[in-house]
Amino acid sequence: MTIYDAGGDGMANGPPWADDDTDIRILRRVGQLEDLPLAPYAVGPVLNVAIMDVETTGIDPAHDEIIDIAYAVIQVDARGELVGIVRVGEALCDPCMPIPEQITRLTGLTDADVAGKAIDLDLLEKALAPVDVFLAHRCAFDAAFLRHLLPFTADAAWCCSATDFDWLAEAGLDGRALGHLLMQIGHFNDAHRAMADVVSLVHLMAHRLADGGTVIGALLDSASQDTIRIEATGAPFDRRSILKGRGYRWDASAKAWWIEVAQDALEAERLWLRRMVTCWGPEPRTRAVTWRERHR
């Protein structure tokens, strides 16, 4: 595992679109993390945020293995400004099984690349123990594998850069794929390795919004707010298409359709359910959801 300390000063700025031709946009490769401009001083409390990515042999953490892991522990102040990059690390790991062909095509990693490699768990735990919140793109995947690797993260706070932030409404960007979002802010990264994705995500988090704030500031503010999970208890079978159109998802274990809404939207959602789905009851089940459980 490779770890280095990095720092810097200055303010993180949006990408240059340097060309006078409105039919052309120039994409610049993402830079090194140590070259990322940082705010010269912190205001208010500082959060240690671990931006994570894992590459694996498959999608099931109970049976598949991590083959590539990377992180960058950054510091974010009360304004949402990046004020420090305190630790960066990456490691390859031999899964003791052949890497599936599609994973090799995706990541470029072969059996020879990971042969005999292992993650130093003591070093990784020491690096991540001081972290206040973990962040990943579609983080439910990364969080599940990290829980298997480091059980102490089971109750950690997580935020998802794909789902906890409204890219269209707040940043004017469409879609949620990391590479697509990166291109829309003027950058590209042609690798699909764990560290490459971490570097891409740090650049995306540093992007300036129209109000002058950063994406990560808005994301942390949104993700830290408790939400309410509503279950459409006893919803008739013929209402499933209406529920799906509203954004509800099926939970097989609870045998219920559910959605997560902001606290101030709870009564409006209850009213919609009574009118459109469960006119004769029963009342929907509700419970509060924090960022320590939202992406499990």
Residue 11: pLDDT band (50, 70, 90) is very low
Question: Pick the residue with more confidence: 24 or 208?
Answer: 208
Confidence of residue 284 (pLDDT cuts 50, 70, 90): very high
Same domain, 189 and 243: no
The pLDDT of residue 18 is above 80: no
Same domain, 155 and 13: yes
Same structural domain for residues 240 and 258? yes
β-strands 2-6, 187-188 pairing: unpaired
* Per-residue pLDDT tens digits for 59-98: 999 999 999 999 999 999 999 999 999 999 999 999 999 9
| CA pair distance 193, 199, nearest whole angstrom | 10
* pLDDT of 15 over the 80 cut: no
Average pLDDT of the segment spanning 230-240: 94
The helix (H) or strand (E) run that includes residue 220 is helix 215-223
The pLDDT score that the predictor gives to residue 14 is: 45
Residue 177 included in any domain: yes
Q: What is the pLDDT at residue 3?
A: 42
Bridge partners, residue 28, by sequence = 187
**Domain CATH code at residue 157:** 3.30.420.10
Measure the CA–CA gap between 71 and 54, rounded to whole angstroms.
9
Determine the average pLDDT of the residues in 274-289: 92
Residues 203 and 233 both lie in one domain: no
Same domain as 103, residue 91: yes
pTM of the model as a whole: 0.87
Q: Is the same domain home to 178 and 258?
A: no
Residue 186 CA, distance from chain mean position: 20
Q: What is the average pLDDT across 259-288?
A: 93
Q: Total structural domains in the chain? A: 2
Range of the domain at 108: 2-223
Q: Are 216 and 224 in contact (CB under 8 A)?
A: no
Could you tell me if residue 295 is inside a domain?
A: no
Residue 206 clears pLDDT 50, i.e. is over it: yes
Q: Which of 91, 75, 73 is nearest to 194 (CA)?
A: 91
pLDDT at 21: 67
- Residue 217 clears pLDDT 50, i.e. is over it: yes
What sign does the CA torsion over 119, 121, 123, 126 have? positive
Beta strand 47-56 with 133-136 is parallel
